[in-house]
């Protein structure tokens, strides 16, 4: 009578499975009930070898997965099973206990197994053989690989993450060569994301990564950092070569990124001259080089981008040029009567032009629907003062007008939005805009009601003087309009 106990560790937790096999039968006589329990009740492939490393038994799962047949019994060694069936390299080991992961390749699939090799013992403690238990961890392994990949590569660009890049850079430093470092970013990416949406902003980042891949040497290390910079490192090239590569990439981006708005890539380059200093320290020198270039070329870039974004703003009919021209004329007439300095007049002109730029970030269909809007829709409309403030703060304008945009829907009696300011708490230029904007909207074609006469529009201003509008400014505006008519 041969009896043995086996212990198995399965899955992530420890599960002790003890079976007493009461009899080891001859192959021709079949298997014991106890062995049936061990082989047939467990739902994972199991293979048994004796102490001479000869195949002793296996269950149905092992037969299905590995193509084992009963005629293999006593004819197959452990070496043959590992080399021919599992397609692994056989390495004899005196240690009977082992855990390892491997990939089993089938005709149409790959399965990742965690293989536990366990001892089989007689009741008296003598070693009897090996028990091979195969745990299918394919999904677990794929999930682990995906997580590992996420920690190594940036999903959008395919470049290294910052941490993985630094590790590779350390390896490059060990060669002791002069590493050339570059850093680059998209000028105004935050603003482009705001105006066009994150999806299109992501597309611009992808265009940048594609352009860099197309021009940089194959072995170049590249990372996309948390602050939307791309950092690159290469050995075996000069600073001038790196500059040429990055300039070429910048040219490709300008040609491909957006059809009507110029997109610029700024870049800087530095050389790791002292090989005793880590390359990571030289990234800051590349960034300083980029900042200096940006200061030199940035003004022209800003101007071109702002002009293009303004054209896009008007092209999408968020505001008509005619409306802007009329309210600017009225506003400047009031500024002249008030004796405002030239700087304030220029700010007023910008305010007339960009006061509704926040509309680009609200639901476009609400502004254009020819029906009464709901309270929910009006709440969305009210957000345009805040989004306009945010957008204007990122535009490259001669004077700051973001605060003026934020308050241009505040009412004189404190019932306006977004903060409920009242009286002279509201900036003067915002109070002027509220009057000239409302007057022009009423006296020209409207989607909702149609235009009213100029006299009716003026009556409405008088009606809401002291509540919605500054009464002194309403009186001043009326004088300016009358004077303008007389001048005609």
**Is 396 within a domain?**
yes
Q: Are 338 and 471 part of one and the same domain?
A: yes
- Identify the residue with better confidence: 33 or 403: 403
The whole-chain average pLDDT of the chain stands at 83
User: Final residue of a domain: which of 111, 143, 175?
Assistant: 143
**Is 309 within a domain?**
no
pTM of the model: 0.60
Q: Is residue 487 over pLDDT 80?
A: no
- Residue 21: what pLDDT? 37
Angle at Cα 240 formed by Cα 234 and Cα 243, nearest 5°? 75
What is the spatial order of strands in the sheet that 221-224 belongs to?
Answer: 221-224, 230-234, 180-186, 265-271
CATH number of the domain to which 236 belongs? 3.30.70.270
Q: Are 170 and 297 part of one and the same domain?
A: yes
CATH number of the domain to which 480 belongs? 1.10.3210.10
- Residue 401: what pLDDT? 94
Q: Are 49 and 79 part of one and the same domain?
A: yes
How large a percentage of the chain has pLDDT more than 90?
Answer: 43
- How many domains are contained in the chain? 3
Residue ranges of alpha helices (H) inside 339-453 are 342-354, 364-368, 375-382, 384-394, 402-406, 428-443
pLDDT in tens, 423-475: 999 999 999 999 999 999 899 865 556 678 889 999 999 999 999 999 999 99
**Is 321 within a domain?**
yes
Angle at Cα 166 formed by Cα 165 and Cα 169, nearest 5°? 85
Q: What is the mean pLDDT of residues 331-339?
A: 96
**The pairing of beta strand 221-224 with beta strand 127-136:** unpaired
Q: Is residue 483 over pLDDT 90?
A: no
Q: What is the mean pLDDT of residues 474-479?
A: 95
**Is 148 within a domain?**
no
In angstroms, rounded to a whole number, what is the distance separating the alpha carbons of residues 394 and 85? 64
Identify which of 103, 47, 102, 98 has the alpha carbon closest to the alpha carbon of residue 76: 47
Q: Are 213 and 272 part of one and the same domain?
A: yes
- How many other CB atoms are there within 10 angstroms of residue 32's CB atom? 15
In angstroms, rounded to a whole number, what is the distance separating the alpha carbons of residues 280 and 444? 61
Phi, psi of 412 (to 5 degrees): -60, -30
User: Final residue of a domain: which of 89, 124, 143?
Assistant: 143
- Residue 5: what pLDDT? 39
pLDDT in tens, 205-234: 999 999 999 999 999 999 999 899 999 999
- Identify the residue with better confidence: 326 or 121: 326
pLDDT in tens, 279-290: 999 999 999 999
DSSP string, 50-96: ETTSBEEEE-HHHHHHH---GGGTTT-BHHHIIIIIS-------S--
Q: Are 351 and 399 part of one and the same domain?
A: yes
Q: Are 324 and 276 part of one and the same domain?
A: no
DSSP string, 232-247: EEESSS-HHHHHHHHH
Q: Which two tokens stand for residue 326?
A: 């009329």
**Kind and range of the H or E run holding 198:** helix 198-215
User: What residues make up the domain containing 292?
Assistant: 153-301
Residue 100's pLDDT band, with cuts at 50, 70 and 90, is confident
In angstroms, rounded to a whole number, what is the distance separating the alpha carbons of residues 17 and 6? 7
pLDDT in tens, 377-422: 777 778 889 988 988 888 888 888 999 999 999 999 999 999 999 9
Q: How many CA atoms lie within 13 A of 163 on its CB side?
A: 6
CATH number of the domain to which 110 belongs? 3.30.450.20
């Amino acid at each position: 009578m041969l009896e043995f106990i086996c212990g198995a560790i399965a899955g992530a937790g420890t599960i002790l499975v003890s079976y007493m096999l009461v009899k080891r039968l001859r192959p021709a006589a079949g298997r014991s009930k106890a062995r049936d329990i061990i082989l047939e009740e467990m739902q994972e492939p199991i293979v048994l070898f004796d102490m001479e490393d000869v195949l002793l038994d296996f269950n149905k799962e092992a037969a299905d997965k590995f193509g084992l047949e009963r005629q293999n019994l006593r004819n197959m060694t452990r070496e043959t099973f590992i080399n021919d069936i599992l397609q692994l390299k056989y390495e004899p080991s005196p240690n009977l206990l082992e855990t390892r992961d491997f990939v089993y390749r089938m005709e149409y699939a790959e399965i990742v197994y965690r293989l536990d090799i366990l001892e089989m013992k007689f009741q008296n403690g003598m070693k009897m053989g090996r028990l091979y238990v195969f745990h299918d961890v394919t999904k677990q392994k794929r999930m682990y690989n995906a997580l590992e990949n996420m920690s190594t590569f940036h999903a959008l660009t395919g470049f290294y993450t910052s941490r993985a890049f630094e590790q590779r850079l350390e390896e490059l430093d060990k060669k002791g060569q002069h590493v050339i470092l570059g850093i680059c970013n998209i000028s105004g990416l935050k603003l482009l994301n705001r105006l066009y949406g994150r999806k299109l902003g992501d597309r611009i980042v992808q265009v940048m990564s594609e352009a860099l891949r197309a021009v940089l040497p194959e072995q170049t290390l590249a990372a996309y950092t948390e602050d939307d910079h791309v950092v690159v490192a290469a050995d075996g090239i000069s600073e001038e070569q790196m500059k040429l590569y990055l300039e070429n990439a910048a040219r490709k981006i300008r040609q491909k990124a957006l059809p009507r708005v110029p997109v610029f890539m700024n870049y800087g380059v530095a050389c790791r001259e002292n090989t005793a200093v880590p390359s990571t320290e030289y990234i800051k020198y590349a960034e300083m080089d980029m900042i200096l270039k940006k200061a030199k070329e940035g003004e022209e870039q800003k101007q071109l981008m702002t002009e293009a974004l303004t054209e896009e703003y008007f092209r999408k009919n968020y505001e008509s040029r005619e409306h802007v021209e009329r309210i600017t004329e009225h506003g400047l007439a009031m500024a002249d009567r008030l004796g405002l300095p030239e700087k304030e007049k220029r700010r007023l002109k910008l305010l007339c032009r960009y006061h509704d730029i926040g509309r680009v970030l609200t639901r476009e269909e609400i502004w254009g629907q020819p029906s009464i809007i709901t309270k929910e829709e009006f709440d969305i409309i009210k957000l345009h003062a805040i989004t306009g403030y945010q957008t204007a703060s990122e535009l490259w304008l001669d004077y700051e007008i973001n605060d003026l945009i934020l308050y241009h829907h505040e009412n004189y009696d404190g019932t306006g939005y977004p903060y409920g300011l009242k009286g002279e708490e509201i900036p003067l230029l915002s109070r002027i805009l509220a009057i000239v904007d409302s007057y022009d909207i009423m006296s020209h074609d409207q989607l909702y009601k149609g235009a009213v006469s100029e006299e009716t529009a003026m009556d409405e201003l008088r009606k809401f003087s002291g509540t919605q509008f500054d009464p002194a400014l309403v009186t001043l505006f009326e004088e300016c309009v009358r004077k303008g008519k007389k001048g005609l």
